[in-house]
């Protein structure tokens, strides 16, 4: 395994934010369902999004990659794939494709992924699909992949879905139930997490000509219709921008992230108000699409509910390392069901740096140490943990972080962008 070795650094300059992983997934899938040719501009090509492209191709979409353009000839007259659909490590891919696989005219589809993905919960989505007339099940009968989805289409009707585990189940149904035989009503029980990701889904559907009747994120009505091919530009990824902004605050002098499109909803736009709430120096230019931060010796503590933006958990956790008073992070129980148990893993690794952490089922309380310790940090092959821990490690004299390979999931140029700003990072082989 390759580790990244860090030395205490100061960064300065401008970095262009990569394209949104969430919007890339949605645009690839919906354009594959639209009858005709669509053009996706500024797509993100990463390990996760390439899994979605591969999955759409397996069901018959004709997709051609051309640098910053993705040409998609789609339709919903899908055939059963020749092989299993392998979503690799991507929870978004397998959840979106599970519903789409039900649109196969005849035959069945098997969907699986890597070891981590085969532990991710899928039962709520399977239950809803079965209620809507689809035969779908887990091969191990444990609610996790591998999955089998029988073709023949979505009949329609109504279903009740628990919103407390993941927004991806709802996004999956919304995207696919457009092609149901009759109206579909989706009712949500419990507290809906990650609502902005559902907004992203609805906005992308709208760009392809389909409207969703949404009652306060508690009830959705879909009527049979068709997606229309279009030209769609993927906005910048505020999840990735948040990591660079945290680096600018923690180890920066003056750092600007450019290329941000504020016109489409993104959950991680909350990073702007969070940084402001911690008394960080931040300037936002909506017209230019830029966010500028300046480094600081100390931030303020406070309480932050991340139920709508769980991907900001690693970012807020490392910002807490420079807070004068404790930082309480709540609403993150569903972050335990991501690529890894991010709540427990953040607690274990930041403790190595000297932080005092209290962990409960749904949150963390982080108190910064007077002096950060050097540490050998594990990322558990989780891309967001690796990137956050790498930024934190740059506050120490000499630390290492394992799992550099994981950045291919969402931000392949992460190390290059950080070193381009002046971060002192170099690979080192883990000989254990």
**Active-site positions?**
311
Residue corresponding to tokens 């879909």: 222
Asked if 132 and 154 count as a contact pair (C-beta separation under 8 A), the reply is yes
User: CA separation (Å) from 388 to 63, 120, 224, 243, 350?
Assistant: 33, 22, 43, 7, 11
Residue corresponding to tokens 């419990």: 190
Q: Which of 69, 72, 38 lies closest to 53, judged by CA?
A: 72
Residue corresponding to tokens 């990569």: 18
The Cα–Cα gap between 357 and 154 comes to 47
**Element containing residue 233 per DSSP (H, E):** strand 231-233
The Cα–Cα gap between 16 and 19 comes to 9
The Cα–Cα gap between 328 and 274 comes to 12
CA atoms within 13 A on the CB side of 69: 8
Identify any residues that bridge with 149 across adjacent strands, giving them in sequence order.
109, 136
Tokens encoding 189: 């029980």
> Checking DSSP bridges between strand 85-86 and strand 108-112, what pairing results, if any?
parallel
Asked if 396 and 403 count as a contact pair (C-beta separation under 8 A), the reply is no
The Cα–Cα gap between 233 and 325 comes to 41
Q: Is 59 exposed, middle or buried (0-12, 13-18, 19+ CB in 10 A)?
A: buried
**Element containing residue 427 per DSSP (H, E):** strand 424-429
User: CA separation (Å) from 30 to 25, 27, 67, 68, 169?
Assistant: 9, 5, 20, 18, 16
Asked if 99 and 126 count as a contact pair (C-beta separation under 8 A), the reply is no
Tell me, rounded to whole angstroms, the distance of Cα 363 from its chain centroid: 19
**How does DSSP classify residue 19?**
B
Contacts of 429 (CB under 8 A, 6+ apart): 1, 2, 3
């Amino acid at each position: 395994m390759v580790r990244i070795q860090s030395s205490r650094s100061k960064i300065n300059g401008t970095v262009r934010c990569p394209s949104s992983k969430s919007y890339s997934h949605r645009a690839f899938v919906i354009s594959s369902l639209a009858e005709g040719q669509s053009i996706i501009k500024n797509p993100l090509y990463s390990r996760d999004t390439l899994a979605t492209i591969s999955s759409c191709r397996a069901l018959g979409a004709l997709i051609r990659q051309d640098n910053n353009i993705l040409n998609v000839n789609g339709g919903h007259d899908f055939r059963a794939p020749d092989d299993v659909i392998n979503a690799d490590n991507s929870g978004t891919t397998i959840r979106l494709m599970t519903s789409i696989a039900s649109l196969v005219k005849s035959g069945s589809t098997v969907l699986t992924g890597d070891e981590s993905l085969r532990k991710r919960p899928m039962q709520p989505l399977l239950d809803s699909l079965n209620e809507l007339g689809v035969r779908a099940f887990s091969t191990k009968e444990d609610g996790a992949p591998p999955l089998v989805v029988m073709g023949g289409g979505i009949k329609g009707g109504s279903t009740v879905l628990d919103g407390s585990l993941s927004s991806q189940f709802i996004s999956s149904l919304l995207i696919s139930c457009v092609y149901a035989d009759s109206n579909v009503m989706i009712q949500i029980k419990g507290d809906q997490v990650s609502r902005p990701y559902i907004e992203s889904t609805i906005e992308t559907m709208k760009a392809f000509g389909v409207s969703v009747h949404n009652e306060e994120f508690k009830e959705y009505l879909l009527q049979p219709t068709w997606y229309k091919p279009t030209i769609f530009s993927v906005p910048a990824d505020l999840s990735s921008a948040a990591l660079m902004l945290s680096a600018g605050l923690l180890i920066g002098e003056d750092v600007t992230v450019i290329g941000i499109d504020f016109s489409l909803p993104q959950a991680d736009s909350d990073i702007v108000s969070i940084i402001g709430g911690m008394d960080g120096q931040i300037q936002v230019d909506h017209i230019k699409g830029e966010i500028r931060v300046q480094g600081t010796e100390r931030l303020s503590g406070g309480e932050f509910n991340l139920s709508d933006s769980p991907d900001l958990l690693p970012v807020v956790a490392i910002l807490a390392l420079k807070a004068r008073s404790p930082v309480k992070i709540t609403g993150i129980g569903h972050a335990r069901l991501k690529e890894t148990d991010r709540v427990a893993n953040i607690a274990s690794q930041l403790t190595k740096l000297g932080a005092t952490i209290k962990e409960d089922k749904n949150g963390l309380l982080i108190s910064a140490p007077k002096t950060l310790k050097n540490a050998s940090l594990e990322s558990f092959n989780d891309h967001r943990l690796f990137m956050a821990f790498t930024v934190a490690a740059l506050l120490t004299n000499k630390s290492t972080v394992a799992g550099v390979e994981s950045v291919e999931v969402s931000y392949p140029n992460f190390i290059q962008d950080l070193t381009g700003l002046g971060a002192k990072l170099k690979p080192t082989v883990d000989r254990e």
